[in-house]
């Protein structure tokens, strides 16, 4: 099986979906001839033709809106928002329209769109190339929000998202496109090559949306993470010397609540990790759910390790980014608490 | 590097700026004044070939395409030469739409529903268009195109069920009254959010072209809502990808209490918006059933011939209040509609048909009575199911259709309600 | 002292601010000559002139953006978004710009704008006249989000918001514009007239943003609510026969964390109430904060009473709206817990 | 009501639609081809009075205002008749800007910073405009108007401090390199989000008018970003409220890898966008320092005389890569800039000044050497503070300026970091 990085895996997913279904098409800013600024759609125009993989005007609202119209017609558009930081102009179309069309039409019109977008920090991108806006979508009934953390899941989840009959926000943790960065930014970075989760089957397969993956079994505490933070959390468990159970949520909505509850009931302690600012981040929802469902099992307060409640800085990137030290610190607090 | 500019202290005589706030020609108590509305005599606007280059249509953004003259005769190059049957069906649909509006407006006053919006004075636009397009073409309407459903023969009782949010509401009481949805009738689910449907229509049309289909889309937006970013997105994408869509702007002079000048209407025409995108543009008398038909046919042919989108401004007037929540006597002259230079679309088509010898007062009276009776019969049917609050879809349905499949949160919440 | 309803109190606040400071102006859709669809700006154009209270094009993004530009110049614009359901087109300008301009310019440029918007359900408004999107703003560092629950606070908080040097989202619970609706929708509704919180001083005064108000002292449990839900919670306490301490948060960001913590430490139980859908609503953040800070004092899981994770329906309004029955039910659960 | 339309089965010969995707004239390996770019000879475009009605300027949306002819002479009604001193200062600022860009681009390759963006080929636009406007006027730039700061004499070392995110960065390392901000120099904080500044500039200008001030605003947007809804909002509000603002569109033919046709550039001009709003429009040779100056003066006078906004499209070419993250050889012909019909703004102004006898090769060489030396000196100063990672503002500052006052969350988080 070939070893692919996340970019190649995502490319393979779109290619596979387009090959299997003529109703799948891809567009976005610079995604056509050039293949996208991160090269995720590289080669698709050449292979599938101009009308199936093309460039779009710089109008995120227009991209989402036309994708909705196409989906209403019967297509399955997979569009790219160049950076998640630029998704906000399309927010109204996603929240007021894509999320509600099935409901408000009594199920008659549906919007199976997939909106892919690179998100997260760690690339010295400053405040407009580093944001993690996922929680803003989890609040919206009718939308699904997913985040793969490795090449295998990236392909399988993207194929599941494209096949899904509901609108899916597909957040790609750009910091781990090329390797499972664990937050130790001054150590050499591993590439995906050779990693077992980089073994990506060539053909079609799906990773169902709504199923978490336990990345590390553990007895001491449960870590809930997604995207880059999965790798940071694994590094942190090592750093802290804690026998952590690290759960990669993979899908925020739908959430694998059973996996979470089972783990926390087992460990009695929980740390939630994300890059987005703390206040009203998805960690708040996770914390609320865990305390609602595992209250009598909890031996310590649930800890949140998150980005700060400030915009994302440039020079102080590594003081903002929740790295293994901060996660390890929270693990220790959870063990004491 | 030196700065080459003149600092303010060296230009003491610079004029003081002032902020300009546009105002309508009249407010309550004033006489209606439409002198700022550019008009053309019937028959005066040229009709370019359907294959014309967009730029060759741009003069039409400032003219006004009209077919019916003051005497009710059809004149000029845009005369669609419709057969009397088509005209009669159009007139009947307009009469029926007006009767429906009147009835439902009353139903709101009687507490049978929470909300209603009329399209009085604007009936010709939706109805003439619906009669040019096929039911397979998809329309993306606002709340003022109920005429499409009525022209296409959608059951009036079903419309009322929606308005009453009763147990037979096809959209299960989920939306505000008048937010109809019917895939079968080529009527896209109306959104409460202004403008959002406009670029969606472009996407739908792109999909039709992508699939090598022959269906086209038609989208509607009000004068006020043209200010939304979605309007711009729609026109950009329609132009760039040559989408087979008709982009209608219904300029009824008002957006709730705000006159069309606040959307830039006083500075140029709404049709001129199309020029910015290199799209062909038509400005049409929206109260002239024949002109609406002719312009729509022109745009439809362009779209079906792969020549892409057309922008059409329909000049009309919102004769009634914005909605049942509104009271126009607080912000505009009372008798504007009576003095609107383009008149009433029903009266004008009636006069035309009468002039042709294809209609008379008796037929008019019969059509009106028939419309009232149709509405009454539908009302009986819908009210037998129930009006707002008396009857409604089961509470369980509130938890359905959020997603295609099951969602544990919603399941648990439904169980919490015990349904 | 005159007895004002919330609309009159808000009107008085804008009038007072405009009278005191020539840099304050007001605009929005239908807010000029007509005075706004809810009449909040009634009479201001006549009194202060055309350039100080005027209509705007139907472009929420344009309204927010021009307000930002004016604020950068040095004005204090107070703009209206006709319904909170229509704020999303302006979301990008609020999130990417208003929230970040001070930070990204090193404090040189600032955006003291106030964005007023009626929100919430209970008026048979269907899905686009009933939404409660407040939590989407609380996630954004740099924005303040406040919600008054009565005429006195409405005026004092709006004056504080306009005077505030940061962008403030000012959510007006439209269901209680005319009276303190307590969620018993089949009982007669009281008007504000005669209510002690409807005694609104004529002149300027401020209610500082960031201070909660304890609406009812109680020993059994703590209710955290805002907007219409304050009145619903008070009714629910009666219904449940529970000695609840009902805290009107008034300001979500900045949050009066001290008041919350003190109360929960005293009662040991907590119910959080809001109209917005549950997932990632502000209740999640409140729940997370309370369990982080009061873990060892909590005797039962924190309960959330919220709108459902569906769009806001029309026919089933009262099955969606969190009324006193549901809040009382949660209180009982919290007491058993 | 019957449906009057022809169902698809009755029109079996309807043509199949197809989706149109626009493509540029050339890709890597192709010869550059600018034949689709509408040009006018220098001196040909008429110059309407500053007081002209907007509609009387609309022809200029399709012409190209040019002053410098092929031989470098200034011709026609738009000749601004600048004194040689002004021209020399402009040329020097352009040379300095180019030298600065080259140096910082190298600094990126040397790992001294994370990112850089050049404005090579587009220097005339920002610099000529900055020299017409005063420093009190507020500019709302994109990342390609560094020329404004340089023309206004902003310290180069301070620009570098920002680029290096070092301890002397005036915006405290908070933004990506080149996202300058300077209130004192009338340079609004650059946003990474395209288009957002455009309607903000309109709001600023409205505020200036509201206060009876005499300052105006100037906003910049790229060809690609005109597709954003914010562009539409800006033009609507500017037109409706007659805001004293110059709305510049810098059409440099490319938006990263996407040619301007994807924003509608192939269908009409970008200047024509202004027609939609009834705004006056000019289309200008952006590589002609004199034409840029003349058009800016015209728009500035309109704005200062309370006549409102002007839309100006500057036709230019993005000679360098989009940014240091980009490689244009992957998507466009390699030698497009060499074949760009409007040439290089520095070469053209140099030729003009030389023709006037006000410049020569020696002065050119001296100016270039001086520019390099200024940049080098600034580089020494900035690097003495430190390059990216070597030096930075204190971590404490990361927690400041989120709000005007204290916020307990941020205070606690700062304490958690221990700063
Ligand atoms: C995004 C959005 N903003 C504001 C509103 C509130 N609103 C409803 S109708 C209306 C006026 C619309 O005027 P126009 O577009 O001219 O259409 P008309 O009602 O005249 O048919 C407004 C402001 C809304 N529904 N959606
Ligand atoms: C809202 C938003 N969408 C997308 C981007 C990513 N992006 C950065 S620059 C750019 C191209 C801009 O092209 P243009 O407007 O022509 O300006 P130019 O770079 O040519 O000066 C894109 C798509 C962004 N910064 N902001
Ligand atoms: Mg209107
Ligand atoms: Mg460009």
Nearest residue on chain B to D14, judged by CA atoms?
A: B214
Q: Could you identify the residue written with the tokens 């466009």?
A: D332
Residue-by-residue DSSP string for D263-304 = GTTTTS-SGGGGGGGT--EEEEETT-HHHHHHHHHHHHHHHH
| DSSP H/E element including B250 | strand B245-251
Look at A141 and C276 and tell me if their CB atoms are within 8 Å. Answer: no
> Taking a C-beta distance cutoff of 8 angstroms, is the pair A151, A6 a contact?
yes
Chain A residues near residue C136 by CB distance under 8 angstroms: 136, 139, 280
Q: Is C129 a catalytic residue?
A: yes
Q: Could you identify the residue written with the tokens 């939308």?
A: A143
D31-66 pLDDT tens trace: 999 999 999 999 999 999 999 999 999 999 999 999
Residue D201 has pLDDT above 80, yes or no: yes
pLDDT at residue D11, as a whole number: 59
Query: Please, which contacts does D294-300 make with residues 24 or more away whose CB atoms are closer than 8 Å?
Result: D294/D47, D294/D65, D294/D67, D294/D78, D294/D79, D294/D80, D295/D65, D295/D78, D296/D128, D296/D129, D296/D132, D296/D133, D296/D246, D297/D80, D297/D132, D298/D47, D298/D50, D299/D246, D300/D132, D300/D133, D300/D216, D300/D246
Q: Could you identify the residue written with the tokens 């009372």?
A: B334
Phi, psi of B258 (to 5 degrees): -105, 125
Nearest residue on chain B to D148, judged by CA atoms?
A: B3
B99-122 pLDDT tens trace: 999 999 999 999 999 999 999 999
Confidence at B6, pLDDT banded by 50, 70, 90: low
> Atom 12 of ligand 2 has which residue's CA nearest to it?
D255
D314-368 pLDDT tens trace: 999 999 999 999 999 999 999 999 999 999 999 999 999 999 999 999 999 999 9
Contact residues for A323 (Cβ-Cβ < 8 A; gap 6+): A183, A184, A185, A232
Look at C101 and D170 and tell me if their CB atoms are within 8 Å. Answer: no
Phi, psi of A245 (to 5 degrees): -95, 115
Query: Residues 98 to 157 of C: which have CB under 8 A from any A CB?
Result: 99-100, 103-104, 127-128, 135-136, 138-142
Is the CB of residue A316 less than 8 Å away from at least one CB of chain C?
A: no
Average pLDDT for A201-225: 98
The residue ranges of every structural domain in chain B are 50-321+335-388
Look at D173 and A125 and tell me if their CB atoms are within 8 Å. Answer: no
Q: Which of these, C72, A129, A311, lies nearest to D187 by C-alpha position?
A: C72
Joined tokens for residue A308: 């700060």
For residue B217, how far is its CA from the centre of ligand 1 (angstroms)? 22
- Which residues on neighbouring strands pair with residue B258, listed in sequence order? B255
Q: Which DSSP state fits A93?
A: I
At the top level of CATH, the class of B50-321+335-388 is alpha beta
Q: Could you identify the residue written with the tokens 């919600």?
A: C147
Q: Could you identify the residue written with the tokens 């002259």?
A: B333
Q: Ligand 2: residues whose CB is within 6 Å?
A: A 29, 58, 82, 86; D 142, 144, 192-194, 222-225, 252, 254-256, 318, 322
D256-273 pLDDT tens trace: 999 999 999 999 999 999
pLDDT at residue D12, as a whole number: 60
| Dist. CA B168–CA B172, nearest whole Å | 7
Look at C144 and D403 and tell me if their CB atoms are within 8 Å. Answer: yes
Of B22, B276, B306, the CB nearest to D275: B276
Dmax (CA) of chain D: 85
Is the CB of residue D4 less than 8 Å away from at least one CB of chain A?
A: no
- Neighbour count for residue B418 (Cβ, 10 Å): 7
Look at C61 and D230 and tell me if their CB atoms are within 8 Å. Answer: yes
Our separate counts of H helices and E strands in chain C read 12, 12
- CA B373 distance to own-chain centroid: 26
| Pure H helices in D110-184 | 123-132, 146-151, 156-164
Is the bond preceding A254 in cis, omega lying within 30 degrees of 0? yes
Neighbouring subunits of C (3+ Cβ pairs under 8 A):
A, B, D
Candidates C38, C59, C131, C318: best to mutate against B (most CBs of B within 10 A) is C59
Is the CB of residue B404 less than 8 Å away from at least one CB of chain D?
A: no
pLDDT at residue B2, as a whole number: 37
Quote the ipTM score: 0.98
Mutate which of B123, B147, B178, B194 for ligand 1? The one with the most ligand atoms within 8 Å of its CB, which is: B194
Chain A residues near residue D195 by CB distance under 8 angstroms: 58
| Dist. CA D187–CA D170, nearest whole Å | 13
Joined tokens for residue A78: 């997979």
pLDDT at residue A46, as a whole number: 98
Joined tokens for residue B218: 């038609």
Of A29, A51, A128, the CB nearest to D21: A51
For residue A83, the ligand closest to its alpha carbon is 2
Residue A246 has pLDDT above 70, yes or no: yes
For residue D321, how far is its CA from the centre of ligand 1 (angstroms)? 43
Edge-to-edge strand list for the sheet holding D310-315: D138-140, D217-222, D245-251, D310-315, D281-285
Residue D1 has pLDDT above 60, yes or no: no
Look at A314 and D176 and tell me if their CB atoms are within 8 Å. Answer: yes
For residue D202, how far is its CA from the centre of ligand 2 (angstroms)? 20
- CA D185 distance to own-chain centroid: 17
Please, what are the domains in chain A?
Answer: 6-198 (3.40.50.970), 213-336 (3.40.50.920)
Edge-to-edge strand list for the sheet holding B217-222: B138-140, B217-222, B245-251, B310-315, B281-285
Our separate counts of H helices and E strands in chain A read 12, 12
Q: Which DSSP state fits A299?
A: S
- For residues D82-104, b (16+ Cβ closer than 10 Å) or e, as one string? beeebbbbbbbbbbbbbbbbbbb
D116-139 pLDDT tens trace: 999 999 999 999 999 999 999 999
Minimal Cα–Cα distance from B313 to chain A, Å? 22
Neighbouring subunits of B (3+ Cβ pairs under 8 A):
A, C, D
Is the CB of residue C327 less than 8 Å away from at least one CB of chain B?
A: no
Is the CB of residue D55 less than 8 Å away from at least one CB of chain B?
A: yes
Look at D203 and C93 and tell me if their CB atoms are within 8 Å. Answer: no
**Pairing of β C144-146 and β C251-253:** antiparallel
Q: Which DSSP state fits D61?
A: G
- Neighbour count for residue C279 (Cβ, 10 Å): 25
Ligand 1 contacts CB of residue B254 (under 6 A)? yes
The catalytically annotated residue of A48, A129, A139, A274 is: A129
Q: Could you identify the residue written with the tokens 């119209």?
A: A69
Mutate which of C58, C61, C81, C174 for ligand 1? The one with the most ligand atoms within 8 Å of its CB, which is: C58
Please list the ranges in chain C whose pLDDT falls under 70.
none
pTM of the model: 0.98
Q: Could you identify the residue written with the tokens 């997979």?
A: A78
Measured CA angle at A131 (ends A127, A134), to 5 deg: 160
Chain A residues near residue C253 by CB distance under 8 angstroms: 279
Of D2, D135, D233, the CB nearest to B3: D135
Residue B252 has pLDDT above 50, yes or no: yes
Of all atoms in ligand 1, which is nearest to the CA of residue B192? 25
Residue B11 has pLDDT above 90, yes or no: no
Confidence at B1, pLDDT banded by 50, 70, 90: very low
Beta strands in A249-302 (DSSP E): 251-253, 270-277
> Atom 7 of ligand 1 has which residue's CA nearest to it?
B194
Residue B219 has pLDDT above 70, yes or no: yes
Q: Tell me how far CA of residue B402 lies from CA of A142, A316, B194, B383, B407, in angstroms.
A: 5, 41, 22, 28, 9
| Dist. CA C140–CA B112, nearest whole Å | 42
Is the CB of residue A124 less than 8 Å away from at least one CB of chain D?
A: yes
> Taking a C-beta distance cutoff of 8 angstroms, is the pair C124, C317 a contact?
yes
Q: Could you identify the residue written with the tokens 């077919």?
A: B67
Mean pLDDT of chain D: 96
Is the CB of residue A284 less than 8 Å away from at least one CB of chain C?
A: yes
Joined tokens for residue A239: 């750093």
pLDDT at residue C337, as a whole number: 78
Residue-by-residue DSSP string for C78-107 = EEE-S-GGG-GGGHHIIIIIITTHHHHTTT
B386: left (phi over 0), alpha (psi -120 to 50) or beta: left
The percent of chain C in helix, strand and coil, each rounded to the nearest 5, is: 40, 20, 40
Phi, psi of B162 (to 5 degrees): -65, -45
């Amino acid at each position: 099986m070939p070893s692919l990085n996340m970019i190649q895996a995502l490319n393979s997913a779109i290619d596979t979906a387009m090959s299997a279904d003529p109703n799948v098409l891809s567009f976005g800013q610079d995604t056509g001839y050039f293949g996208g600024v991160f090269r995720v759609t590289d080669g698709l125009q050449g292979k599938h033709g101009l009308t199936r993989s093309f460039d779009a005007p710089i109008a995120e609202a227009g991209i989402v809106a036309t994708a909705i119209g196409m989906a209403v017609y019967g297509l399955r558009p997979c569009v790219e928002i160049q950076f998640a930081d630029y998704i906000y102009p399309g927010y109204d179309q996603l929240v007021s329209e894509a999320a509600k069309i099935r409901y408000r039409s009594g199920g008659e019109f549906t919007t199976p769109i997939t909106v892919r977008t690179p998100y997260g920090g760690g690339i010295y991108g400053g405040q407009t190339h580093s944001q993690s806006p996922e929680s803003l979508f989890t609040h919206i009934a009718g939308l699904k929000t997913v985040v793969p953390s490795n090449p295998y899941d990236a392909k399988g989840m993207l194929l599941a998202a494209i096949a899904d009959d509901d609108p899916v926000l597909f957040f790609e943790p750009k910091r781990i496109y090329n390797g499972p960065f664990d937050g130790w930014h001054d150590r050499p970075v591993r590439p995906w090559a050779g990693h077992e989760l980089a073994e990506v089957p060539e053909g079609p397969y799906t990773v169902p949306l709504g199923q978490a993956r336990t990345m590390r079994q553990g007895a001491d505490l449960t870590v809930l993470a997604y995207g880059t933070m999965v790798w940071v959390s694994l590094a942190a468990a090592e750093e802290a010397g804690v026998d952590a159970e690290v759960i990669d949520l993979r899908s925020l909505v739908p959430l694998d609540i059973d996996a979470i509850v089972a783990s926390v009931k087992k460990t009695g302690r929980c740390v939630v990790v994300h890059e987005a600012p703390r206040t009203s981040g998805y960690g708040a929802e996770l914390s609320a759910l865990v305390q609602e469902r595992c209250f009598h099992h909890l031996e310590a307060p649930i800890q949140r390790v998150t980005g700060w409640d400030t915009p994302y800085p440039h020079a102080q990137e590594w003081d903002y980014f929740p790295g293994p030290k901060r996660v390890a610190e929270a693990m220790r607090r959870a063990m004491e608490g | 590097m030196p700065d080459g500019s003149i600092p303010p202290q060296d230009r003491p005589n610079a004029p003081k700026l002032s902020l300009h706030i546009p105002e309508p020609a009249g407010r309550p108590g004033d006489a209606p004044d439409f002198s700022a509305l550019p008009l053309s005599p019937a028959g005066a606007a040229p009709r370019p070939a359907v294959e014309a280059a967009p730029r060759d249509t741009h003069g039409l953004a400032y003219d006004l395409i009209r077919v019916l003259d003051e005497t009710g005769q059809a004149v000029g190059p845009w005369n669609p030469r419709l057969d009397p049957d088509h005209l009669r069906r159009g007139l009947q649909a307009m009469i029926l739409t007006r009767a429906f509006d009147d009835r439902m407006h009353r139903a709101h006053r009687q507490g049978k529903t929470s909300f209603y919006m009329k399209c009085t004075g604007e009936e010709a636009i939706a109805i003439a268009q619906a009669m040019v397009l096929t039911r397979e073409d998809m329309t993306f309407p606002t709340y003022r195109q109920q005429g499409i459903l009525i022209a296409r023969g959608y059951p009036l009782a079903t419309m009322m069920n929606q308005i009453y949010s009763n147990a037979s509401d096809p959209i299960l009481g989920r939306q505000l009254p008048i937010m109809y949805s019917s895939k079968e009738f080529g009527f896209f689910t109306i959104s409460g959010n202004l403008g959002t449907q406009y670029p969606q229509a472009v996407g739908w049309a792109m999909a039709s072209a992508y699939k090598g289909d022959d269906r086209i889309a038609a989208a509607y937006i009000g004068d006020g809502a043209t200010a939304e970013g979605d309007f711009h997105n729609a026109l950009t994408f329609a132009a760039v990808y040559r989408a087979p869509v008709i982009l209608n702007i219904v300029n009824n002079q008002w957006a709730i209490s705000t006159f069309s000048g606040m959307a830039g209407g006083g500075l140029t025409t709404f049709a001129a918006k199309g020029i910015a995108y290199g799209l062909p543009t038509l400005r049409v008398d929206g109260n002239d059933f024949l002109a609406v038909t002719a312009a729509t046919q022109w745009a439809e042919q362009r779209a079906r011939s792969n020549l892409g989108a057309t922008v059409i401004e329909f000049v009309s007037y919102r004769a009634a209040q914005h909605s049942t929540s509104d009271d126009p006597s607080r912000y505009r002259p009372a008798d504007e509609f009576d003095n609107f230079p383009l008149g009433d679309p029903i009266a004008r088509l009636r006069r035309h048909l009468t002039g042709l010898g294809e209609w008379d007062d008796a037929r008019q009276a019969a059509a009106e009575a028939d419309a009232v009776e149709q509405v009454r019969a539908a009302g009986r049917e819908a009210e037998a199911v129930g009006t707002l609050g008396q009857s409604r879809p089961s509470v369980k349905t509130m938890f359905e259709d959020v997603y295609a499949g099951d969602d544990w949160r919603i399941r648990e919440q439904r169980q919490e309600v015990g349904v």
